[in-house]
């Protein structure tokens, strides 16, 4: 999964791209990863993001998109699963 388009407006209905997530990870945790290097097996641990860092990313998404993500979002280990879960929730409120 690799979508390198960045949207400038962040309505809830607009999906979260991998590039946007990578930018959030960098700003919230300092983790550096290339969006096109993340595949279905990549975990947050693989790219240096711990549970507190993920919580910061979740909070940034919730504030930026005006959505409340479910608690299970904090327990997802694989990056692509997280993006899918976020986008599923954004579609529900959109």
In this predicted structure, the answer to whether residue 20 has a pLDDT above a threshold of 90 is yes
> Is 38 in contact with 22 (CB distance < 8 Å)?
yes
d(CA 38, CA 67): 25
8 Å CB contact between 58 and 74: yes
Q: Give tens-digit pLDDT for 44-62.
A: 999 999 999 999 999 999 9
Q: What is the pTM of this model?
A: 0.83
> Could you say which of 1.10.1200.10, 1.10.3720.10, 3.30.300.30, 3.40.720.10 is the CATH number of the domain covering 18-93?
1.10.1200.10
Cα dihedral 25, 54, 64, 17 sign: positive
DSSP state of 14: S
Instruction: Give the separation between CA 93 and CA 65, rounded to whole angstroms.
Output: 10
Q: In percent, how much of the chain has pLDDT > 90?
A: 81
Instruction: Give the residue extent of every domain in the chain.
Output: 18-93
In the predicted model, is pLDDT for residue 12 greater than 90?
no
Q: In this model, does residue 3 exceed pLDDT 50?
A: no
pLDDT in tens, 53-88: 999 999 999 999 999 999 999 999 999 999 999 999
CA distance 55 to 11: 21
């Amino acid at each position: 999964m690799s979508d390198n388009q960045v949207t400038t407006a962040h309505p809830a209905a607009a999906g979260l791209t991998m590039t946007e997530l990578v930018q959030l990870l960098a700003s919230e945790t300092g983790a550096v990863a290339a969006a096109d290097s993340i595949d279905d097996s990549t975990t947050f641990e693989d790219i240096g993001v711990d549970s507190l860092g993920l919580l910061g990313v979740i909070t940034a998404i919730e504030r930026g998109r005006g959505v409340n993500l479910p608690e299970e979002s904090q327990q997802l280990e694989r990056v692509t699963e997280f993006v899918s879960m976020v986008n599923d929730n954004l579609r529900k409120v959109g």
